[in-house]
């Protein structure tokens, strides 16, 4: 769940006018799909290059209802170190979709006006990876994304 929080931050740091969405319950790697099929004895629902595996199986493994599992995600975000404007806008835009009975948590990351943090750390997306920015010069470049310079 911490990786998802870092990814929320990274998406927000794409710059002005940039937003994104994270889907919990959708697998994009064939190896993950195969492992989930074996562990949870489910048949994923293919959608393009991805497969919907749902959150129902995770909720069941934790002894929770889908509603309780969804509430768990909201609490993780609420208690995370995300910058307040980002945290509040994500909490206002998180939802649950009962996609063909599989259940998917949809986390929308609205465009932000400033650089976002998790605690004191800055994250960015590089392709499909989330990475922490540690160099001061790179941090300044990220800040310029919100000034319309880069």
pTM: 0.90
Report yes or no on 150 lying in a domain.
Answer: no
Q: Please give the tally of structural domains in the chain.
A: 1
The boundaries of the domain holding residue 11 are 2-144
Q: What share of the chain is helix, strand, coil (3-state, %, to 5)?
A: 40, 25, 35
Distance separating alpha carbons of residues 36 and 19, to the nearest angstrom: 29
* Residue 22: partners with Cβ closer than 8 Å, 6 or more residues away: 4, 7, 8, 11, 106, 107, 109
Burial bucket for residue 74 (CB in 10 Å: 0-12, 13-18, 19+): middle
Report yes or no on 85 lying in a domain.
Answer: yes
Report yes or no on 61 lying in a domain.
Answer: yes
Report yes or no on 149 lying in a domain.
Answer: no
Report yes or no on 113 lying in a domain.
Answer: yes
User: What's the confidence (pLDDT) of residue 100?
Assistant: 85
Pick out the chain residues at pLDDT < 70.
Answer: 148-150
User: What's the confidence (pLDDT) of residue 149?
Assistant: 52
Report yes or no on 17 lying in a domain.
Answer: yes
The mean of the pLDDT values for the chain is 93
Report yes or no on 48 lying in a domain.
Answer: yes
User: What's the confidence (pLDDT) of residue 122?
Assistant: 96
User: What's the confidence (pLDDT) of residue 101?
Assistant: 87
Report yes or no on 41 lying in a domain.
Answer: yes
């Amino acid at each position: 769940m911490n990786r998802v929080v870092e990814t929320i931050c990274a998406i927000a740091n794409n710059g002005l006018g940039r937003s994104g969405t994270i889907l919990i319950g959708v697998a994009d790697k064939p190896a993950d799909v195969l492992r989930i099929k074996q562990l949870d004895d489910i048949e994923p629902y293919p959608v393009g290059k991805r497969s919907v595996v749902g959150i129902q199986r995770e909720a069941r493994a934790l002894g929770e209802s889908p509603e309780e599992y969804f509430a768990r995600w909201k609490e993780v975000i609420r208690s995370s170190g995300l910058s307040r404007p980002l945290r509040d806008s994500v909490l206002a835009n998180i939802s649950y979709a009962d996609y063909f009975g599989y259940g998917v948590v949809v986390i929308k990351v609205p465009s932000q006006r400033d650089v976002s943090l998790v605690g004191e750390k800055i994250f960015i997306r590089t392709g499909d990876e989330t990475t922490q920015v540690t160099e001061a010069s790179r941090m300044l470049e990220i800040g310029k994304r919100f000034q319309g310079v880069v």
